[in-house]
Amino acid sequence: AGLNFSSGCRRTKALKCGKPSHFVPLPRMKAPDKFLHVLNRSFDECTTDCSNNCSCTAYSYTNLSSNGAMADQSRCLLWTGELVDTGKYSNYDDNLYLRLANSPVRNNSKLVKIVVPTMACVLILACLLVGIFKYRASKRKKYGIHNGAMLGYLSSSNEIGGEHVDFPFVSFEDISTATNNFSDSKQIGSGGFGKVYKGILQGDNEVAIKRLSKGSGQGIQEFRNEIILIAKLQHKNLVRLLGCCIFGDERLLIYEYLPNKSLDAFLFGMCRLLIHITSFRLAKMISQITNDNILRVLFIFGDDTRQYVLDWPTRFQIIKGVARGLLYLHQDSRLTIIHRDLKPSNILLDSEMTPKISDFGMARIFGGNKQEAKTTRVVGT
């Protein structure tokens, strides 16, 4: 004998007419003696008949002839009321389909398996999006504070008379990416106020990026002068300022990239290298150079063949270009400017050997019709 259901089973949730229900198959069950026999029904029709009958609590689709009753093709048996006359036995082949009011456990399980991971993914994605949004918002706010400080710093200049200086700001992150985090392999020069790197910004634009030395009072003054002057001056023989950045202690200037670098490399060749080696500044720089950059330094400073590129027509073209740039600074621009540090290393050459005056850190602006100005320190070369 199997399980004994003679005392009946208690439902956890009562059946309600008109409410959704489902059927749970119970295999090898003895059918109760009192049943309603519905003729000429298929299995699906038998299920529907029980579903539509509010009193139906179970049904069985079985072969009556095997139980000794009169054979009938429909074999649909419906039960109403409580099931108290049944049991489970191994020698029975019939299934009893019990009607329950709650949703199928299996379907609920599948639903949970789908809904829970989906909701977890949505929640994680929402948290990530909120985090990214807050990070970018704080970054924009911080960047805006730096830009505001920059504008306030520039507007305090007496030389420009409170006029608006219009130039683009570039984020420090973009500059760091463009220079491979200021890698030595990207360095193309150095000066008294910092180092110069080659980089590629958005749009595949090659640029030269001057990174001013941290904590240098002269560097800050140069930074201000460069922006005030170059942003206001437009001439083919002056180097173009493309943007700038101030981020914490970092101050950077972005110029057009000039592939032929400075004039002194063409004029002096190996002599320039020997002169600089005797100076403490270059000796200190060489001590910090890696093996990968030694050849690059020797090429820049010691290429004696460069001076032969400057035939007399090219030299005359450079002289005229520098003269035109100086004439513009002294007379033709609306600001009268004295460079005060004009030397071959501050004359840059583009791919066509057109000269461009650079490095306005020491420059002075003469306001109005002034012809003279006082200086408190010795500067220039």
User: What amino acid positions are annotated as catalytic residues?
Assistant: 341
The length of the chain is 381
Handedness of CA 290, 295, 299, 301 (dihedral sign): positive
Least reliable range by pLDDT among 77-91, 210-224, 248-262, 286-300: 286-300
**Do 242 and 254 contact (CB within 8 A), yes or no?**
yes
- pLDDT: is 33 or 348 the higher one? 348
- pLDDT: is 346 or 158 the higher one? 346
Q: Which helix (H) or strand (E) holds 203?
A: none
Query: What mean pLDDT value characterizes the chain?
Result: 75
* Domains of the chain, each with CATH number or no CATH: 22-102 (3.50.4), 172-366 (1.10.510.10)
Q: For 237-254, give the secondary structure using H, E and C.
A: CECCEEEEEEECCEEEEE
Q: DSSP secondary-structure letter at 34?
A: -
Instruction: Count CA atoms within 13 Å of residue 3 on its CB side.
Output: 13
Tens digits of per-residue pLDDT, 356-366?
A: 998 887 888 87
Tens digits of per-residue pLDDT, 4-45?
A: 555 556 677 777 787 778 888 888 777 777 778 888 788 888
Residue with tokens 């009946």: 8
For residue 186, the model assigns a pLDDT of: 92
Interatomic CA distance for residues 243 and 156, integer angstroms: 19
- pLDDT: is 137 or 147 the higher one? 137
- pLDDT: is 329 or 380 the higher one? 329
pLDDT at 75 over 50: yes
Residue with tokens 């240098």: 216
* DSSP string of 92-125, one letter each residue: ---EEEEEESSPPHHHHHHHHHHHHHHHHHHHHH
CB within 8 A of 257, min separation 6: which ones?
A: 198, 206, 207, 208
Query: Where is the binding site, in residues?
Result: 210
Interatomic CA distance for residues 264 and 251, integer angstroms: 26
Interatomic CA distance for residues 6 and 350, integer angstroms: 104
Mean pLDDT of 304-312: 68
Band of pLDDT at residue 294, cut at 50, 70 and 90: very low
Handedness of CA 32, 33, 34, 38 (dihedral sign): positive
Cβ neighbours of 224 (radius 10 Å)? 18
Band of pLDDT at residue 158, cut at 50, 70 and 90: very low
For residue 257 the two structure tokens come to: 């990239």
Give, in order, the Cα–Cα distances in Å from 133 to each of 65, 137, 140, 327.
Answer: 73, 6, 10, 51
**Do 201 and 252 contact (CB within 8 A), yes or no?**
no
pTM over 0.75: no
- pLDDT: is 354 or 156 the higher one? 354
Query: Where is the binding site for ATP, in residues?
Result: 210
